[in-house]
Structure 1
């Protein structure tokens, strides 16, 4: 089992859908597979989820599935020739009422609300900010603009407004349908695109819980931070979510590229402080879509996210459509491991001035502190929901955390937690028997051997959620 703490999220696509390739990627270090609901039909996602579960079983690993919702389509329509070349200084009309294909003078809109969301003086960024349009006037359904930065504009390219402010709801009718599909395949996480506030996340949770009820399934919810409006509301969004994704693409277009690195650091820090998970995403190994090795800048980017404390780093087109999906995962795993070796552990400083009002949280922190100072080989949490393992994973400690659970759903969800290795174990209801079973489980997997010290936490009575109230330090006979 790899000793890497940072988890890898890989997006499934044509390049990675063959069973052999998927299995090889899981063996190379993929912990979470992302299904991108912007592409494909419901049955495609169900088939791919089955592929993931089968490949994970063959590889002997537990892998989480994340369903990534498309969110609102804030895009231009189609062009008669498929694309146009916009020259700087030219006028260009975005027309919500236009039905015919676009040309060099203007184009229709998928997003019909645009004329109500913008005014003269606003700046629109198209195709990930490569094309810049200045709004001159809004007349009825038409937004009249002047091309400030030109280039090629093709069908259905995205539109952002500089500084944010587009009113599109985070959840569309398609997303609601996709949530039903995601729940039918028991996706462990659902990623919500473009949430503006906590209400968007609360609505998504309600929809997931209703759709998941018949499957007795509740997913973890990830808020993708990609709108300028989400930044001042980060804390309320975090409170309503199980984690966040630093979605650097759309976010950079709205707030400016230069602002993103500091925001990334702030988001990772905030998520950890609130006991939530965080995924860093977008263009991490972009050059590996076409090249077998990453650039030095990409290596630094991945390593910096690891040093900032991200739970996971994410691959998008690199594994979905790239030429080197397996090599990309292998390279990313190597970078994460090297960065982790250089990490500085400051557990004592972490706990200075900290107070805990929950017994289970206090036990989790006590286990970390004791194991760190005793040089323990492992920290073990017998956990039903996974919350003890989550709390432990919020602090840097160079000791692997093994979470033993009886629930497959908890095991899969914990696949995203930094430095947590979730294992499935049928535990007895009797405490002493359960502790003996846990040790034999660790010995069987060569995690501990004679003479090793490990810390173990559990709850009495056994199996009660939120009941972790015991810490034991053991030496293996």
Structure 2
């Protein structure tokens, strides 16, 4: 169920919104409206579900919606990762009562019963021992391991709960040996590249090596192609990932604070502080961050969020996250448009009260930095000093605009590029508004076109100051070396 008339008033905000595609949202008109209000920047494809053809059709829907709205958005392909789940259960579920015994049997191929339940993850008996605690169904069912006998794990049920087929398993404190990438993920990676994804999310990352493996597979698949490689996003949802956080961030293009599985492994109370730490470190190490899981959960069935959900989204924005993400809310929920619109409203309100982000404040130390970095830092400092209305980056790849976005600044950052793939990649960067322009033109022509474009959009008025970064030789890729303070004539 959706409202018959949608409010398409544009909402300006810097924090980007990622919406998961599904039966509730995979139609062109709905996505076009989400994009038009300034709410939808990135669409997540959940590769836990669907066939290659299903994902190809959805990619066409997303690109058509973006074309109609006149704005490029990014596609994030989210790989499933290892299935650490119980198997099928006869009748779909069993009622478990506190104090009962439950056997998890990795050798069981048929449907599970009260006597024993099978496992999709066959190595679980090797990863647990007596005394370990297992959490099933996102922590709603707690089992204590009594003993391990070959393929059988004998457990005690700690709380009454209905266990359904295929529910997930986590081990308290982490330590499950399953690798981040499976054979299914490698097949899905090929599909994701074929449909032109802009980002690839790797689930259950434990170390930088998982990212190196994924990047090598991308290169293998795209060998000989001149196309831009998808950025890699590490989903931080394991204890081991927290222990190896910096190396994972540095091996990634961005991270996702995946609070669902992470909360089950480390405990719900630990997650808020970890969220702040992860977002801060991502900004300090010049990577982007996405905050995810249950942000607007009640809007699966309700047209308005709870006050707790409003606070959750606002606090992620105030933490400095680049993007906030919804999952079931837009994939299968009754109010996908309203969910995205509410997230945009919350982000705009939080940003209006935000004095500064926990970002990078030009603390480079004694080591020399790249010209790109220095130009970005200078642009931010000068923009503050002269009260500029916007920062404009003429960029081929989007790297200068990204560096500007790492700083604590609320000014709009307009990134003008001739590259469609760069536009889509920049859809993830906080505060960056990517637009199309041919940077191969001479400098004066480019400045005039920029002014005309921003005047037309109402960003600038006559007499306004704006900062522009560019290359002195406009045709050279990756050569940003010029910073100008310009006045709109």
User: Does structure 2 conserve the Cα–Cα contact (< 8 Å) formed by 1:94 and 1:108?
Assistant: yes
1:406 equivalent in alignment to 2:418: yes
User: Does structure 2 conserve the Cα–Cα contact (< 8 Å) formed by 1:378 and 1:399?
Assistant: yes
Q: Which residue of 2 aligns with 1:20?
A: 29
Alignment CA distance shift 1:390-1:76 (3 Å):
same
Q: Give the Å deviation of 1:214.
A: 5.6
Q: Give the Å deviation of 1:80.
A: 1.1
Q: Which residue of 2 aligns with 1:10?
A: 19
Q: Which residue of 1 aligns with 2:60?
A: 50
SS in 2 for 1:76: coil
Quick one: distance in 2 between partners of 1:337 and 1:439?
A: 25
Q: Give the Å deviation of 1:466.
A: 3.1
User: Does structure 1 conserve the Cα–Cα contact (< 8 Å) formed by 2:206 and 2:241?
Assistant: yes
- TM-score of the pair, normalised by structure 2: 0.95
Spell out, residue by residue over 1:199-251, the C-alpha distance to the aligned partner (whole angstroms, 9 max, x if none).
00111111122223465230010000001110010000011100000000000
Q: Which residue of 1 aligns with 2:387?
A: 375
1:198 equivalent in alignment to 2:208: yes
Quick one: distance in 2 between partners of 1:345 and 1:168?
A: 40
Quick one: distance in 2 between partners of 1:346 and 1:415?
A: 19
**Residue in structure 2 matching 1:102, options 95, 112, 115:** 112
User: Does structure 2 conserve the Cα–Cα contact (< 8 Å) formed by 1:209 and 1:217?
Assistant: no
**Residue in structure 1 matching 2:251, options 240, 259, 262:** 240
1:111 equivalent in alignment to 2:125: no
Quick one: distance in 1 between partners of 2:255 and 2:217?
A: 18
User: Does structure 2 conserve the Cα–Cα contact (< 8 Å) formed by 1:6 and 1:313?
Assistant: yes
Q: Give the Å deviation of 1:348.
A: 11
1:437 equivalent in alignment to 2:449: yes
- TM-score of the pair, normalised by structure 1: 0.97
User: Does structure 1 conserve the Cα–Cα contact (< 8 Å) formed by 2:471 and 2:482?
Assistant: yes
**Residue in structure 2 matching 1:421, options 433, 454, 460:** 433
Q: Which residue of 2 aligns with 1:177?
A: 187
Q: Which residue of 2 aligns with 1:81?
A: 91
Quick one: distance in 1 between partners of 2:266 and 2:392?
A: 42
User: Does structure 2 conserve the Cα–Cα contact (< 8 Å) formed by 1:96 and 1:109?
Assistant: yes
Quick one: distance in 1 between partners of 2:151 and 2:122?
A: 8
Correspondence 1:23-172 to 2 at 5 A: 23-28=32-37, 29-172=39-182
User: Does structure 2 conserve the Cα–Cα contact (< 8 Å) formed by 1:186 and 1:217?
Assistant: no
Alignment CA distance shift 1:349-1:170 (3 Å):
closer
Q: Which residue of 1 aligns with 2:488?
A: 476
User: Does structure 2 conserve the Cα–Cα contact (< 8 Å) formed by 1:347 and 1:397?
Assistant: no
User: Does structure 2 conserve the Cα–Cα contact (< 8 Å) formed by 1:184 and 1:212?
Assistant: no
**Residue in structure 2 matching 1:292, options 303, 306, 311:** 303
Quick one: distance in 2 between partners of 1:231 and 1:245?
A: 12
Q: Which residue of 1 aligns with 2:269?
A: 258
Unaligned runs of 5+ in 1: none
User: Does structure 1 conserve the Cα–Cα contact (< 8 Å) formed by 2:87 and 2:118?
Assistant: yes
User: Does structure 2 conserve the Cα–Cα contact (< 8 Å) formed by 1:84 and 1:103?
Assistant: yes
More deviation in 423-432 or 65-74? 423-432
User: Does structure 1 conserve the Cα–Cα contact (< 8 Å) formed by 2:82 and 2:181?
Assistant: yes
Quick one: distance in 1 between partners of 2:440 and 2:61?
A: 32
Alignment CA distance shift 1:329-1:16 (3 Å):
same
Q: Which residue of 2 aligns with 1:220?
A: 231
Quick one: distance in 2 between partners of 1:131 and 1:56?
A: 42
Q: Give the Å deviation of 1:350.
A: 2.2
User: Does structure 2 conserve the Cα–Cα contact (< 8 Å) formed by 1:95 and 1:109?
Assistant: yes
User: Does structure 1 conserve the Cα–Cα contact (< 8 Å) formed by 2:82 and 2:178?
Assistant: yes
Quick one: distance in 2 between partners of 1:411 and 1:296?
A: 34
Q: Which residue of 2 aligns with 1:387?
A: 399
**Residue in structure 2 matching 1:465, options 468, 477, 482:** 477
User: Does structure 2 conserve the Cα–Cα contact (< 8 Å) formed by 1:183 and 1:217?
Assistant: no
Q: Give the Å deviation of 1:81.
A: 1.1
Q: Give the Å deviation of 1:13.
A: 0.4
Quick one: distance in 1 between partners of 2:129 and 2:174?
A: 13
Unaligned runs of 5+ in 2: 1-9
Quick one: distance in 2 between partners of 1:217 and 1:440?
A: 30
User: Does structure 1 conserve the Cα–Cα contact (< 8 Å) formed by 2:395 and 2:439?
Assistant: no
**Residue in structure 1 matching 2:279, options 268, 271, 280:** 268
User: Does structure 2 conserve the Cα–Cα contact (< 8 Å) formed by 1:69 and 1:193?
Assistant: yes
Spell out, residue by residue over 1:51-91, the C-alpha distance to the aligned partner (whole angstroms, 9 max, x if none).
00000111111110000000000000001111001111111
Quick one: distance in 2 between partners of 1:56 and 1:138?
A: 53
Q: Which residue of 1 aligns with 2:292?
A: 281
